[in-house]
Structure 1
């Protein structure tokens, strides 16, 4: 989960009351894209917090599900929260279009994409000057 090894983690709470499940269902929409941080704090000998939290992982909540487990698992009600690492979206970039007009807007004298319009799916072109 830490150091970029896991893109998604699930938190499950079982044995919750029917009222807790109802509250989770009612607030399901507000959970979407909520920030979730995992960290720790230092405690003194009296178990009192001695400083600010140190955050070790950050994610975005996206899927909240509720379930009544089968009888072989005690028939307990369960709430599960699926959380994606905040860098998960960066690993799945959106499509980019390389057109001459887009490049000219960014850099008016850059003609690197000037021949893109002549390319079609399945066509090949030899590298180098035409």
Structure 2
């Protein structure tokens, strides 16, 4: 993790795998993560944690169960409330920053081929 000033956008751009978030910092009991995404992740929820999405570059649609999708452009953010099923979708490559509690599982209670462990997100896997 960085000890000085850093650029989340540059760190996200340097990632080579889609849907593989990397922890780049921490604030109290939350991790700050960056990711490069394209396509659809999967429908999932986080029963006990909110999840903040901040768009660093590109466009992201967050599909929500029982609600209209949220469309986010560069510089915009949205907090997915705990317990809400959601599916992030990027038609084109998108760079984003996530802020979520350290207990948050990547794809909640769903495991797919895109699910990344915390060790992987910390760069240890």
TM-score range, shorter chain: under 0.3
TM-score, normalised by the number of residues in structure 2: 0.24
Which structure's residues are more often strand, by fraction?
2
TM-score, normalised by the number of residues in structure 1: 0.23
Between the two structures, name the one with larger relative contact order (CA 8 Å, sep ≥ 6): 2
